[in-house]
Structure 1
């Protein structure tokens, strides 16, 4: 989901022009002033990434049917997380009221809150004790709530259960076991790719790099908030990916994979293992002919160097733009969208991870989505990405260094030493 093409750059540039044209003080509608009170009722806009399931629009339609004078309109941003952030930042920098509600990646909370681009939410109006606590923490900045946790996410290892069963292999807990299982399957099916994740130079690479480092016992940033990537553990994690590409365990074309490219490859039967978010389950399980692996796959925890690995904590939170109109309506809509009924609807339609703990214990849902216990474990033990006010610069530095190592432009030693220096400066 990186910003690379001229078309995307042109779209972003056009977005800036539109945003500049739409700037407004907001008047009595509760917009225009950073940190303005949650006042004003009427139409609001909801800026979000692509609604691949259609369920987001379904819930918006449900809200709109019951709120004739407080309609919500979705503004669909590019598929790329980096491009989404870019447009939201540009919107905030020109103090535009074009966006009211923002669907923020969990790692953007600190940046948007510190810059006063989003307003503090009344924590008492959300039953935060009923949410998964790692998800709640991603919505807070300096112990105050700046967003509502809507989607959580933990990385899972999707695997072809039918192919592993055929050669007597179990889901791997380590990289070595994954390689062994792949060799056994490829003996019968030479054309199948072994493993893929998200390795294009965009936010997904930051996630996969973080997971590799943590799964080898290292840290990107330590408990004191200091850079920690120049370590033997971090090198071992990065080297696992580098070696994977060099030895063909990771197909060469996977260097171009974002979430959707990898998902399509897995569903086409081209991969034995795939590191992916929960949303892939519903799509890969479809029996309408769009998936060649329906009924043939399962999920397991991510593998690590010497045992089960560690997922990067993902997900999205809903925040209210400091410059948006009708903040009271926006708050009510967010409460509606994060309710148990809405989260249940979203889980059933998309298989995305809910943030309410009760849904992971629901017998009916667990029967329909047997991966829920594994997913909950993944989320509760997941490690966050670096929490930094200058997160955009931090993730770009990680992407550049990791990509250089994966493509052979730099050795892992050089890449990590340079990244250590960059992060030390950015995290001051």
Structure 2
């Protein structure tokens, strides 16, 4: 994918790349408060470094240049990491463990917040370090919050949508059962009915979690304990297993990541597709697309209305070891400004965190999927919020995969998932 405007957003790239890097232990400022490190240098001003993964969308450099032109004595240096989420995560861990004051502001995937906050590496954004989140969508704010304290400023968000063939399906489905009831349309047109991303990788965690959440269940309860031995969790995973068994999810979908599933829909082989917003522009503009003017998007179908998309996105956190936290805080507010958020959306197809921008007609004209994406994000649920995320995602993949393939009963898969998470999260 080389199309600049519609490059895979950073949020979705994280989902694609994030695998099972083990949580590195030790180091840090001691617990969620960060101890003395969190209390130090809150009035510090001067040059800072901003650390983020590869700037494929070309949004970071122009924003940094604009900041630097207005703040010659508090310049930001952009340290660009690789485009691999595992490597980004491990790089941050190494520098946090070394108490490196040179990593002032860091881009944090939504699934890293709990881990980094629990280890005391992120500056709590409260009291004199507080930021205004009142105009932001609630799920991105929740994803940047750990144990009731905000630890990062939501920067960009993401949510999945259901792509459908509007030339074949005049009224899109609102529920899972409605969608499955339309699979006869797919059969009569000699195409697959539905796919998400079911290969054994991070995308499977996303899809399995969405299925469970959309059926009214949850992977973890509000206290962070596994909650998988429930009728709702069973119904959610069974939806996928049954659809795969009877061919409504085509057999090849067990090998699909984001791009394979997009190509299948784009080439006319699927009636319905769960994917991220990045796919919209590619399917609408690529020369090889067979569905250019033939598809629409709606919120993911749930049990009785919109389903629960997995929340994507990144936040910007301040290291407790930064010497210039006052400057870092101002830079966070600059990233959250309406002007910067609009630029992220139009330049990089990154979902804004400011709610009002989803109703901005100028933006909607450029990005027609924004109203649907807003519904998706408003109903989104983060991947399990836990300091033990790598163990949790492994447990989900190791058990959801054989359950969908029909190699393990759904109930047994959920029971094993529960036990594995309990064992690994101690």
Q: What TM-score, normalized by structure 2, do the two folds share?
A: 0.81
Runs of 4+ in 1 over 6 A off after TM superposition: none
**Which among 86, 107, 113 is matched to residue 109 of structure 1?**
113
Q: Which residue of the partner structure matches residue 373 of structure 2?
A: 375
- Supply the distance in 2 between the matched residues of 1:116 and 1:254 (Cα, whole angstroms): 41
Say which is worse superposed, 108-117 or 401-410, in terms of deviation: 401-410
1:68-217 alignment, distance < 5 Å: 70-79=75-84, 81-96=85-100, 99-122=103-126, 126-165=131-170, 170-188=171-189, 190=190, 192-217=191-216
The SS at the match of 1:299 is: strand
Contact 2:125 2:131 in 1 (8 A): no
Q: Which residue of the partner structure matches residue 42 of structure 1?
A: 47
CA RMSD of aligned residues (A): 3.1
- Supply the distance in 1 between the matched residues of 2:133 and 2:286 (Cα, whole angstroms): 39
**Unmatched 5+ stretches in structure 2:** 1-15, 25-35
* Cα displacement string for residues 63-95 of structure 1 (whole angstroms, at most 9, x for unaligned residues): 45555562432413334x445434433443344
Contact 1:154 1:379 in 2 (8 A): yes
1:224 Cα deviation after fit:
4.3
- Supply the distance in 2 between the matched residues of 1:284 and 1:333 (Cα, whole angstroms): 35
Contact 2:41 2:322 in 1 (8 A): no
C-alpha distance 250-387 of structure 1, shift in aligned 2 (>3 A): same
Contact 2:48 2:105 in 1 (8 A): no
Do residues 336 (structure 1) and 334 (structure 2) align?
Answer: yes
The SS at the match of 1:281 is: helix
1:237 Cα deviation after fit:
1.0
The SS at the match of 1:162 is: coil
C-alpha distance 61-259 of structure 1, shift in aligned 2 (>3 A): farther
**Which among 351, 355, 358 is matched to residue 357 of structure 1?**
355
Say which is worse superposed, 66-75 or 139-148, in terms of deviation: 66-75
- Supply the distance in 2 between the matched residues of 1:3 and 1:153 (Cα, whole angstroms): 15
Do residues 222 (structure 1) and 226 (structure 2) align?
Answer: no
Count of residue pairs brought into register by the alignment? 395
The SS at the match of 1:294 is: coil
Q: What TM-score, normalized by structure 1, do the two folds share?
A: 0.81
The SS at the match of 2:177 is: helix
